[in-house]
Amino acid sequence: MTKKILVVDDKKELRTLLKQYLEQEGFEIIQAEDGQKALFIARQEKPDVIILDLMMPEMGGYEFMRVFSREAVIPIIILTAKLEENDKVLGLELGADDYVTKPFSLRELTARIHAVLRRADKQAIVPDLLRAANITLDRTGRIIMVGNEQIDLTPSEFDLLATLMSTPGRAYSRLELLERLQGTAYEGYERTIDVHIRNLRTKIEPDDTKPQYIETVYGVGYRFAPQRRESGR
Protein backbone atom coordinates (compact mmCIF):
# COMPACT_ATOMS: atom_id res chain seq x y z
CA MET A 1 0.00 0.00 0.00
CA THR A 2 1.31 3.44 -0.93
CA LYS A 3 2.28 5.49 2.12
CA LYS A 4 0.89 9.01 2.38
CA ILE A 5 3.11 11.89 3.51
CA LEU A 6 1.92 15.35 4.51
CA VAL A 7 4.55 18.01 3.72
CA VAL A 8 4.04 21.22 5.72
CA ASP A 9 6.21 24.20 4.75
CA ASP A 10 5.49 27.81 3.81
CA LYS A 11 8.06 27.69 0.97
CA LYS A 12 6.29 26.57 -2.21
CA GLU A 13 9.59 25.76 -3.92
CA LEU A 14 10.57 23.33 -1.18
CA ARG A 15 7.14 21.69 -1.13
CA THR A 16 7.33 21.21 -4.91
CA LEU A 17 10.84 19.76 -4.69
CA LEU A 18 9.85 17.31 -1.96
CA LYS A 19 6.66 16.34 -3.80
CA GLN A 20 8.54 15.58 -7.02
CA TYR A 21 11.34 13.66 -5.31
CA LEU A 22 9.21 11.67 -2.86
CA GLU A 23 6.65 10.74 -5.51
CA GLN A 24 9.52 9.24 -7.49
CA GLU A 25 10.33 7.25 -4.36
CA GLY A 26 6.81 5.80 -4.40
CA PHE A 27 5.03 7.98 -1.82
CA GLU A 28 1.75 9.83 -2.13
CA ILE A 29 2.27 13.49 -1.22
CA ILE A 30 -0.22 16.00 0.17
CA GLN A 31 0.75 19.55 1.12
CA ALA A 32 -0.01 22.46 3.43
CA GLU A 33 1.63 25.86 3.70
CA ASP A 34 1.05 26.45 7.43
CA GLY A 35 0.11 24.64 10.59
CA GLN A 36 -3.54 25.68 10.56
CA LYS A 37 -4.17 24.18 7.14
CA ALA A 38 -2.04 21.18 8.08
CA LEU A 39 -4.36 20.46 11.02
CA PHE A 40 -7.39 20.39 8.74
CA ILE A 41 -5.67 18.21 6.12
CA ALA A 42 -4.15 15.80 8.66
CA ARG A 43 -7.53 15.26 10.31
CA GLN A 44 -9.14 14.51 6.96
CA GLU A 45 -6.38 12.58 5.18
CA LYS A 46 -4.72 10.74 8.11
CA PRO A 47 -1.20 10.62 6.59
CA ASP A 48 1.35 7.97 7.55
CA VAL A 49 4.10 10.55 8.18
CA ILE A 50 4.18 14.35 8.57
CA ILE A 51 7.20 16.38 7.45
CA LEU A 52 6.88 19.64 9.35
CA ASP A 53 8.69 22.97 9.08
CA LEU A 54 9.00 24.80 12.40
CA MET A 55 9.01 28.43 11.30
CA MET A 56 5.79 29.30 9.43
CA PRO A 57 3.21 32.12 9.47
CA GLU A 58 -0.33 31.68 10.85
CA MET A 59 0.54 28.57 12.89
CA GLY A 60 4.11 27.35 13.21
CA GLY A 61 5.36 23.82 13.73
CA TYR A 62 5.60 24.04 17.50
CA GLU A 63 1.95 25.09 17.89
CA PHE A 64 0.85 22.45 15.36
CA MET A 65 2.51 19.73 17.47
CA ARG A 66 1.00 21.07 20.70
CA VAL A 67 -2.46 20.67 19.19
CA PHE A 68 -2.07 17.61 16.99
CA SER A 69 -0.13 15.44 19.45
CA ARG A 70 -3.29 15.37 21.60
CA GLU A 71 -5.33 14.00 18.70
CA ALA A 72 -3.20 11.40 16.91
CA VAL A 73 0.05 9.42 17.04
CA ILE A 74 1.26 9.97 13.48
CA PRO A 75 5.08 10.12 13.21
CA ILE A 76 6.46 13.63 12.66
CA ILE A 77 9.81 14.59 11.16
CA ILE A 78 10.60 18.25 11.76
CA LEU A 79 12.52 20.49 9.38
CA THR A 80 14.50 23.27 11.01
CA ALA A 81 16.87 25.94 9.76
CA LYS A 82 17.94 26.57 13.35
CA LEU A 83 21.09 25.00 14.73
CA GLU A 84 20.43 25.57 18.42
CA GLU A 85 20.09 22.36 20.42
CA ASN A 86 17.20 23.77 22.46
CA ASP A 87 15.06 24.17 19.32
CA LYS A 88 15.58 20.54 18.40
CA VAL A 89 14.94 19.36 21.94
CA LEU A 90 11.72 21.38 22.18
CA GLY A 91 10.46 19.80 18.97
CA LEU A 92 11.18 16.34 20.34
CA GLU A 93 9.51 17.17 23.63
CA LEU A 94 6.37 18.23 21.76
CA GLY A 95 6.12 14.83 20.07
CA ALA A 96 8.38 14.87 17.00
CA ASP A 97 10.07 11.57 16.19
CA ASP A 98 13.05 12.89 14.26
CA TYR A 99 14.46 16.07 12.79
CA VAL A 100 16.41 17.22 9.73
CA THR A 101 18.37 20.48 9.65
CA LYS A 102 18.15 22.67 6.55
CA PRO A 103 19.82 22.45 4.12
CA PHE A 104 19.40 18.68 4.04
CA SER A 105 20.05 15.75 1.73
CA LEU A 106 16.97 14.34 0.02
CA ARG A 107 18.46 10.86 0.39
CA GLU A 108 18.89 11.38 4.14
CA LEU A 109 15.32 12.61 4.50
CA THR A 110 14.06 9.59 2.56
CA ALA A 111 16.08 7.26 4.80
CA ARG A 112 14.55 8.84 7.88
CA ILE A 113 11.04 8.52 6.42
CA HIS A 114 11.62 4.83 5.73
CA ALA A 115 12.99 4.39 9.25
CA VAL A 116 9.92 5.81 11.02
CA LEU A 117 7.60 3.88 8.69
CA ARG A 118 9.51 0.64 9.20
CA ARG A 119 9.32 1.09 12.93
CA ALA A 120 5.58 1.82 12.89
CA ASP A 121 4.82 -1.09 10.55
CA LYS A 122 6.94 -3.53 12.56
CA GLN A 123 5.24 -2.62 15.81
CA ALA A 124 1.78 -2.64 14.26
CA ILE A 125 1.99 -6.27 13.08
CA VAL A 126 3.43 -7.79 16.25
CA PRO A 127 0.54 -9.25 18.29
CA ASP A 128 2.12 -8.90 21.69
CA LEU A 129 0.95 -7.96 25.16
CA LEU A 130 3.61 -6.90 27.66
CA ARG A 131 2.95 -6.60 31.38
CA ALA A 132 5.41 -5.35 33.95
CA ALA A 133 4.84 -3.76 37.34
CA ASN A 134 1.63 -1.69 37.03
CA ILE A 135 1.95 -1.22 33.26
CA THR A 136 0.30 -3.11 30.39
CA LEU A 137 1.48 -2.48 26.82
CA ASP A 138 -0.61 -3.76 23.91
CA ARG A 139 1.50 -3.69 20.75
CA THR A 140 -1.39 -4.68 18.50
CA GLY A 141 -3.67 -1.88 19.61
CA ARG A 142 -0.74 0.39 20.55
CA ILE A 143 -2.36 0.99 23.92
CA ILE A 144 -0.61 1.73 27.21
CA MET A 145 -2.38 1.25 30.52
CA VAL A 146 -0.92 2.32 33.84
CA GLY A 147 -3.22 0.74 36.37
CA ASN A 148 -6.71 1.47 35.03
CA GLU A 149 -5.67 4.64 33.19
CA GLN A 150 -4.89 4.74 29.47
CA ILE A 151 -1.83 6.85 28.70
CA ASP A 152 -1.24 8.73 25.43
CA LEU A 153 2.28 8.27 24.04
CA THR A 154 3.93 9.45 20.84
CA PRO A 155 5.05 6.69 18.42
CA SER A 156 8.68 7.02 19.56
CA GLU A 157 7.72 6.97 23.24
CA PHE A 158 5.59 3.87 22.67
CA ASP A 159 8.35 2.02 20.80
CA LEU A 160 10.98 3.02 23.33
CA LEU A 161 8.85 1.75 26.22
CA ALA A 162 8.09 -1.47 24.32
CA THR A 163 11.81 -2.09 23.83
CA LEU A 164 12.60 -1.53 27.49
CA MET A 165 9.63 -3.55 28.76
CA SER A 166 10.42 -6.51 26.49
CA THR A 167 13.52 -7.29 28.57
CA PRO A 168 13.18 -5.92 32.12
CA GLY A 169 16.54 -5.55 33.80
CA ARG A 170 18.52 -5.31 30.56
CA ALA A 171 20.49 -2.07 30.25
CA TYR A 172 20.41 -0.39 26.83
CA SER A 173 22.87 2.26 25.76
CA ARG A 174 21.50 5.45 24.21
CA LEU A 175 22.95 4.44 20.86
CA GLU A 176 21.25 1.03 21.01
CA LEU A 177 17.91 2.64 21.77
CA LEU A 178 18.40 5.23 19.05
CA GLU A 179 19.11 2.52 16.48
CA ARG A 180 16.10 0.48 17.68
CA LEU A 181 13.86 3.50 17.18
CA GLN A 182 15.25 4.66 13.87
CA GLY A 183 15.85 1.21 12.41
CA THR A 184 19.16 2.19 10.86
CA ALA A 185 22.65 3.02 12.05
CA TYR A 186 23.09 6.42 10.40
CA GLU A 187 24.52 9.16 12.57
CA GLY A 188 21.94 9.87 15.23
CA TYR A 189 21.22 12.38 17.91
CA GLU A 190 21.57 10.54 21.21
CA ARG A 191 20.05 13.46 23.10
CA THR A 192 16.76 12.33 21.52
CA ILE A 193 16.67 9.35 23.88
CA ASP A 194 17.04 11.53 26.97
CA VAL A 195 14.12 13.67 25.83
CA HIS A 196 11.87 10.64 25.21
CA ILE A 197 12.84 9.09 28.54
CA ARG A 198 12.01 12.32 30.36
CA ASN A 199 8.64 12.48 28.62
CA LEU A 200 7.91 8.82 29.40
CA ARG A 201 8.71 9.27 33.07
CA THR A 202 6.39 12.26 33.26
CA LYS A 203 3.56 10.20 31.77
CA ILE A 204 3.96 6.80 33.48
CA GLU A 205 5.85 7.25 36.74
CA PRO A 206 4.01 7.96 40.02
CA ASP A 207 6.79 10.48 40.74
CA ASP A 208 8.99 11.25 37.74
CA THR A 209 11.68 12.70 40.05
CA LYS A 210 12.04 9.26 41.67
CA PRO A 211 11.45 6.80 38.79
CA GLN A 212 10.31 3.32 39.73
CA TYR A 213 9.95 1.85 36.24
CA ILE A 214 12.53 3.39 33.89
CA GLU A 215 15.88 3.41 35.65
CA THR A 216 19.05 5.24 34.68
CA VAL A 217 22.08 2.97 34.47
CA TYR A 218 24.94 5.40 34.96
CA GLY A 219 27.66 5.12 32.38
CA VAL A 220 25.44 2.95 30.17
CA GLY A 221 21.92 4.22 29.49
CA TYR A 222 18.50 3.03 30.65
CA ARG A 223 16.60 -0.09 31.64
CA PHE A 224 13.11 -1.09 32.72
CA ALA A 225 13.28 -2.06 36.39
CA PRO A 226 13.73 -5.82 36.85
CA GLN A 227 10.67 -7.56 38.19
CA ARG A 228 11.02 -8.55 41.83
CA ARG A 229 9.29 -11.67 43.08
CA GLU A 230 7.51 -11.72 46.39
CA SER A 231 9.21 -13.91 49.00
CA GLY A 232 5.91 -15.64 49.85
CA ARG A 233 6.65 -15.55 53.55
CATH number, domain 127-224? 1.10.10.10
Side by side, the strands of the sheet bearing 4-8 are 28-32, 4-8, 49-53, 76-80, 98-101
Tell how strand 172-173 and strand 221-224 pair up: antiparallel
Q: Apex CA 201: angle with CA 35 and CA 72, to 5°?
A: 30
pLDDT tens digits for range 146-184: 999 999 998 888 989 998 998 888 888 888 888 777 654
pLDDT tens digits for range 63-99: 998 888 777 778 899 888 765 667 677 777 777 888 8
- Output the pTM of the full model: 0.59
In the chain, where the domains are located? 4-123, 127-224
- Name the CATH code of domain 4-123 (choices 3.40.50.2300, 3.40.50.300, 3.40.50.11390, 2.40.33.10): 3.40.50.2300
